[in-house]
Amino acid sequence: MEALTRSETLKVLASMGVDIPANTKIPGDDLDKRLRAALDAAQEKARFSTPLDLKALPEWPSVLENRTYESPRPLLEAVRRGNMHEAMHNHARGSCSTELFVDPFMDLRQTIMSLANVLDSGLTWCTIQDPEQQQSAINIRFLHIVELDPKTPAMVLLYRSITRADAIEGVRWVQHQVEQNPKKLDGLGLNISATEVEQKLLLKLLGMNVKLLPATFKPKRQLYEEHYRASVLLPIGPLGPGAIGKLNSKTGCAMCGKAAPQRCGQCQSVSYCGAECQRAHWPEHKRTCRSLKGGRWAKVHFRAAAPGTEGMHAVFINRYTNISRTEDILATMTHSLDPSEATPPPNIHGERLFLVKMQVGLSGLGHDTIMVYDRQRSFGNMYIVRADDGQTFAELVSEMLGPRGGYGGVKMYRWARRVGDWELSVCVDRDPEADIKW
């Protein structure tokens, strides 16, 4: 099967929350690097040492009848990942799962859950095929499952991409696998439906994960498996806020990614390498640019801690926080410093405009503070306090409650620029008019 096309790569990245204009001139190699980084983040590869030491890692405690473990754990539950945004979306639909064949990244995640279910049922092989069962397939046989941590199984497997040209070889392999089934499964086999784009994405992931295996790994092959490759599948979940922020950050030309010495003359919010890229990007940029024209800017002071919380610890979550691991939520815990002891946070944006999220508290002292942070959390969580400037504070809250706010009247996004160690200049009365994914 051929690799993902340029348009398919952009579609996959968009489904993961990485927004790049469809007409971008970013080189294909750079898009591929961004997709690889996104997939690595989605499977949390940085958590583990690689290549995997398969001899030292314990076997996953299977739920199969012929295995005896004190605490068996279903693979299906172990590979399930999600965040608040997805949970609320599915609840609104009255379903526990997301729609199929709409979002290639979500389809990939659903397929990995289906593969885990295959193993829980006692099968060790399956075929992933296009819905019409006419064009392409991926044959997979699982070798063994190891435990990277109590919530992360690593499924070691052999796989091969099958096309119409070598369909007979694929059929022979399937027939042989059926013959090898345990007696209780008899002639049972499993076919998982997957679109062409999803199959390409899965093959991309499997190709990347070949490097997770040690160079000395020699799988035991069966009949018809001389052309099968060994790889690993890990659980895959939605990108967290940090990964989304990093992958969406534009450090170069907004159109091609090259060094960008000039900015948009009207809004200063994006950079370009030259006039050609600026013209090409205008259809994408004009809504944001025009939304800033004539906006009213206000200088706001921010603090390192909300009044009354000095010395306290707090945990912050949003709709993209991974809810599959309690320890990850606890890892966001911050310690509020006394403002007199705090040092100014770093300024990674320089003089450039950037988006901030502002959120007012719902009760108690929270009514007098607005939490503010950027997509990268480059300065953590800072606070605008009513006592520092009551008029500007009231205007910000009024904007949250008005038609340019939304989100239940408790938060909003605005363009800002760092103008001092503890000061921002905020465009108060202009909605960014963008689909913001953090």
Q: Distances in Å between the alpha carbon of 338 and those of 304, 314, 379, 399?
A: 7, 14, 16, 29
Q: What pLDDT was estimated at residue 232?
A: 99
Residue 280 to residue 180: CA distance in whole angstroms: 58
Q: What pLDDT was estimated at residue 71?
A: 74
In terms of DSSP H, where are the helices of 60-159? 75-79, 84-93, 104-121
Q: What pLDDT was estimated at residue 297?
A: 94
Segments of the chain with pLDDT less than 70:
65-70, 84, 89, 91, 93, 95-101, 250-251, 312-321, 323, 326-340, 364-366, 435, 437
DSSP for 247-316, please give it.
HH---S-TTT-S---EE-TTT--SEESSHHHHHHHHHHHHHHHHHHTTPPEEEEE-BSS-TT-TT-EE--
Q: What pLDDT was estimated at residue 342?
A: 79
Q: Is 378:298 a contact under the CB 8 Å cutoff?
A: no
Place of tokens 């159109």: 255
- Helix/strand/coil percent split, the chain, to 5: 35, 20, 45
Q: What pLDDT was estimated at residue 279?
A: 93
**Considering only CA atoms, which of 144, 133, 147 is closest in space to residue 61?**
147
Residue 406 to residue 404: CA distance in whole angstroms: 6
Q: Domain extents for the chain?
A: 43-239, 294-438
Residue 388 to residue 419: CA distance in whole angstroms: 17
Residue 415 to residue 425: CA distance in whole angstroms: 9
Q: What pLDDT was estimated at residue 94?
A: 72
Burial degree of 89 (CB within 10 A; 0-12, 13-18, 19+): middle
DSSP for 328-375, please give it.
HHHHT-EEPPPTTTPPPPP-SSTTS-EEEEEEE-SSGGGGGEEEEEET
This prediction's pTM: 0.80
